[in-house]
Amino acid sequence: MRFVLALLSALPLFGQPPGVVIDHSPQTSGQYVGSPGIAILPDGTYLAKMDLFGPKSTENTRAVTRVFRSADKGSSWSHVTDVNGMYWATIFLHRGALYLVGPEKQYGDLILMRSLDKGRTWTRSVLAEGRYHTAPVPVVLHRGRLWRAVETADGPGGWGSQFRALMMSAPAKADLMRRENWTFSNALGRDPKWLDGGFGGWLEGNAVVAPGGRVVNLLRVDHKTLEKAAWVEVSANGKTASFDPATGFIDFPGGSKKFTIRFDKKSRRYWTLASQGAGSSTRNKLVLMSSTDLKNWTVHTTLLEHPDRARHGFQYVDWLVEGKDIVFVCRTAFDDVAGGAHNAHDANFLTFHRVTNFRSFTSRAGAEVVAEAAGVAEEEHPAAPGR
């Protein structure tokens, strides 16, 4: 069986997915591709990461995150290392060091790892014990602090209803590996009565600097038909999170799936790539969106699409801006010689893509989108509009 799986992985792919394939894990392995992330080192090396989930993975004991590198602007990728005890993680750079932050397993302790050798080896620190949940969401530098959203999974009920939203932050000049330097806000649970009783929960929140300069947590909303995001306010000291259900739910195409929001200084707009379509299982259409105020969003164009939504998906995109372009990594469910993806959710590819001249979509209707290998600039942490 091991020989057959290895042979299937090595054979030429049937129905090559769009973009550049970074890694492939066929459904026959029982391990699926999750949590794409991307970063760039000061020397121009690109790093991508993913983790493995599924019935034959170790997600429930000691999860595995895989790290890859590209030295040619994303045209080709090589495996760097497997990191044990890291799941659902964000990869980010800060003050010359590379970090991973996420639980050690599904609903595990919250872990921070640091690498000083381009992702080859990692040191480990436990930031908080408990049952934590998250995704590769932004780490934002604002007013001397790093901010990142996370959830606990200790509320009542199962998936969705058990998630409680909070914000973590630390002084930018502090030793991030010391847990006492991190501040955690209170954790907010859901009310099942919200959205006329259809609110399943919130998760995978984004730390974003809103107009006016305050940090907010913009979260994915679990709902069977509506596409919404939830706007949670965070105090300036990072200790208090609050939510007003009367005003806190905003229309957000793709809001029932994970999304990453970043602010672009040149266009003075917030941008995201979202899996558009009602319900969390619809992931076969990836769109480019932007907003000037975080509350009113415009869909500019479709980046990736497949007519079948049962076993094809473009999801959990993490992205960066380089010059005039957006570069992104994607959890892709697509055809292969092993029978394709298990389903749209259980992806079998990690892929790399580029959107050329993305800012021009605000002033043109319908334009060519190029999905190919491309460069990624060092991440720019968003500043508040008007500042």
| Mean pLDDT, range 222-234, rounded to an integer | 96
Whether 166 shows a pLDDT value over 50: the answer reads: yes
Asked if 183 and 238 count as a contact pair (C-beta separation under 8 A), the reply is yes
Least reliable range by pLDDT among 1-15, 18-32, 262-276, 323-337 = 1-15
pLDDT for 278 equals 85
Confidence category of residue 377, pLDDT binned at 50, 70, 90:
very low
Confidence category of residue 16, pLDDT binned at 50, 70, 90:
confident
Please state, for a pLDDT cut of 70, what percent of the chain lies above it: 90
- 66/42: higher pLDDT: 66
- 5/244: higher pLDDT: 244
Q: How far apart are CA 268 and CA 318, in angstroms?
A: 20
Q: CATH: 3.40.140.10, 2.120.10.10, 3.30.565.10, 2.20.25.90. Which one for 22-362?
A: 2.120.10.10
With b for 16 or more beta-carbon neighbours within 10 A and e for fewer, the 225-251 pattern comes to ebbbbbbbbbeeebeebebeeeebbbe
Name residue 40's beta-bridge partners: 46
- 30/363: higher pLDDT: 30
Confidence category of residue 215, pLDDT binned at 50, 70, 90:
very high
Q: How far apart are CA 149 and CA 92, in angstroms?
A: 14
Confidence category of residue 15, pLDDT binned at 50, 70, 90:
low
pLDDT for 364 equals 61
| Mean pLDDT, range 322-334, rounded to an integer | 95
pLDDT for 143 equals 96
Confidence category of residue 279, pLDDT binned at 50, 70, 90:
confident
Domain-wise residue ranges, the chain: 22-362
Q: How far apart are CA 301 and CA 324, in angstroms?
A: 16
Tokens of 199: 């609110």
Asked if 39 and 91 count as a contact pair (C-beta separation under 8 A), the reply is yes
Q: How far apart are CA 378 and CA 58, in angstroms?
A: 32
Q: Is 55 exposed, middle or buried (0-12, 13-18, 19+ CB in 10 A)?
A: exposed
Q: Render pLDDT for 123-136 as a digit per residue (tens, 0 to 9).
A: 999 999 999 999 99
CA atoms within 13 A on the CB side of 13: 17
Whether 370 shows a pLDDT value over 80: the answer reads: no
Tokens of 272: 């995201």
Across the chain, what does the average pLDDT equal?
Answer: 90
Q: Render pLDDT for 282-320 as a digit per residue (tens, 0 to 9).
A: 999 999 999 999 999 999 999 999 999 999 999 999 999
The residues, any chain, with a CB within 8 Å of residue 363's CB and separated by 6 or more, are: none
Pairing of strands 164-171, 183-184: antiparallel
